């Protein structure tokens, strides 16, 4: 049986295999300071969104019509096709992205050792990287 696809984080020429088939992205909106999370899975077709949630709405963070209200905010499954990669902007003007895997979260800076300097990071299935 073939090994499952894992998710890779790329920043410039550095590629880090995160060693997981699913990962969660977390970030805080720069204006609302509201937590947004997304869970993604690596598949042969690309990254597939499994779930998204936000603590509250406002400033472009409104949940879709099919979102379910929870004690922590809103939760839904994004209606997106598999994506070849996610491009994560990193300006240094806002908090860094958090990537959670196997119950532990770390910033892109902590994972790569490279602070945000305007160069975007990328998440993608590791196959072919």
pLDDT tens column, 7-39: 999 999 999 999 999 999 998 866 666 788 999
Q: From CA 7, how far away is CA 121, in angstroms rounded?
A: 13
- Residue spans of the chain under pLDDT 70: 1-4, 29-33, 57-61, 128-129
Domain residue limits, the chain: 7-125
Q: From CA 53, how far away is CA 26, in angstroms rounded?
A: 10
Q: From CA 108, how far away is CA 119, in angstroms rounded?
A: 12
Q: What is the edge-to-edge ordering of all strands in the sheet holding 46-54?
A: 68-70, 73-76, 46-54, 35-43, 22-28, 98-101, 104-107
Radius of gyration of the chain (CA): 15
pTM score, two decimals?
A: 0.87
């Amino acid at each position: 049986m073939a090994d499952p696809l894992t998710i890779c984080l790329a920043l410039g020429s550095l590629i880090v295999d995160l060693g997981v088939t699913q990962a969660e992205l977390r970030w805080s909106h720069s204006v609302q300071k509201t937590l947004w999370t997304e869970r993604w899975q690596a598949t042969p077709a690309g990254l597939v969104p499994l779930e998204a949630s936000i603590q509250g709405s406002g400033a472009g963070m409104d949940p879709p019509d099919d979102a379910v209200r929870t004690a922590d905010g809103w939760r839904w499954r994004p209606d997106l096709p598999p994506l070849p990669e996610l491009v994560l902007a990193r300006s240094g003007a806002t908090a860094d992205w958090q990537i959670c895997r196997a119950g532990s979260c770390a910033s892109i800076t902590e994972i790569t050792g490279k602070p945000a300097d305007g160069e975007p990071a990328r998440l993608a299935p590791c196959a072919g990287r």
